[in-house]
Structure 1
């Protein structure tokens, strides 16, 4: 396993692999890897002959008041995890390698990016679509792997690939959780002990929603109201959103009568965390 810093290095290696008839998987990440990322690398290693893991904190998807500078980074730690789980290359470029001076081309999307995280993070998905498009062009993978925790991102990437006729299979992988239920996230490291305990309201609210759907409830307001009541009882929690949306369009729906996503975003102190469930998985 090796770490490469330049686009030319990645392209040379992938070209060599493909000349040998080998398949290539890509796991795009922003680094500070945890067991959730490891599950994506495991899936790619299982499905492909070679795996590239990108490790790049993408400045384009952070707003001016967000945590770009403080976002955790540890390439040595990441390298050990990637090697342990069968990755072959880490692509760890500098921002100047990905966005040269005078860079002015972007990939943007309408509709799917206007709800949920797109409301409170208006520049986020343009940054995601642009960097992922660049990674797809650089690596030319057969398959790319994304976690279902970032459900809106997964839907956006799938839609982009379809719209732009990219010849890449997008694989969504299940949420990986801590033993107490909290969804794995690099931002969990921001939480102090009291906040870490309070953060359990997210997974608890998700379980409330899942239970209601399993018991036959399909009224979205009834489900989300119950989830909001539980979250609001935690003094350290501030709700950004609790919504149920059409899985294909990310638009809110009144009743669950089609494949749907229940997604939540909650501030625990100053840390914004997300969680969700897909009705098709219940």
Structure 2
């Protein structure tokens, strides 16, 4: 395989990939409900023109002798990644929840890029689209932006949704729109990667001005104290919510909640609004 068709994976992407377990797949799953029946040809065309404009989605992660990299799938076939599933006529939320539950517990094929769209027919007289994609491709916020860029900006489908704006810094992100979404995270990782050289510079600075060492010692002492607290913490109490996770998963959702009722609910439950929406 030519090196031009390979690209080293970042440590963050490798971490998500290696955290995969049969009982806890690192796969993000999203569901879109449509009032109308969506033709398979239209969905595949949309995926081809708006999703696959990000080159990363034509690549799969490969482990070669302990070195992880992205490799282009030479046998890429859109039909493998965009498939149809028909529910029984008259199916509703219960049937769709059961289908999503089955899919979130099913691993993606490692021989191909780790994502798949499922076009679900007969859902409340319309359609649903289920997207499964491995977390090593991007974080949830970035993928939401990718999905929004796939949607139509008007009812007549004359314009696509907004594509993320190019980053201010130039480089790899210039040719890879997905990298544009991850530019802020990449910046933080770059800062972390230079920590070693920074410490050397700090050592020289302390030699010239020893008084600055006092501040660093105080900061280090506070950090050591926090670490000690974590080490000495007792185990959590045993509850019915603890145990070994199984492979089978259960997905469910509720009807929309009026946002005007949220503050009152938070006041009654002594809970932050963000946590209210999450639960």
* Bucket of the pairwise TM-score, normalised by the shorter protein: under 0.3
Higher-helix-fraction structure: 2
TM score, norm. by length of structure 2: 0.24
Q: Which has more radius of gyration?
A: 2
TM-score (norm 1): 0.24
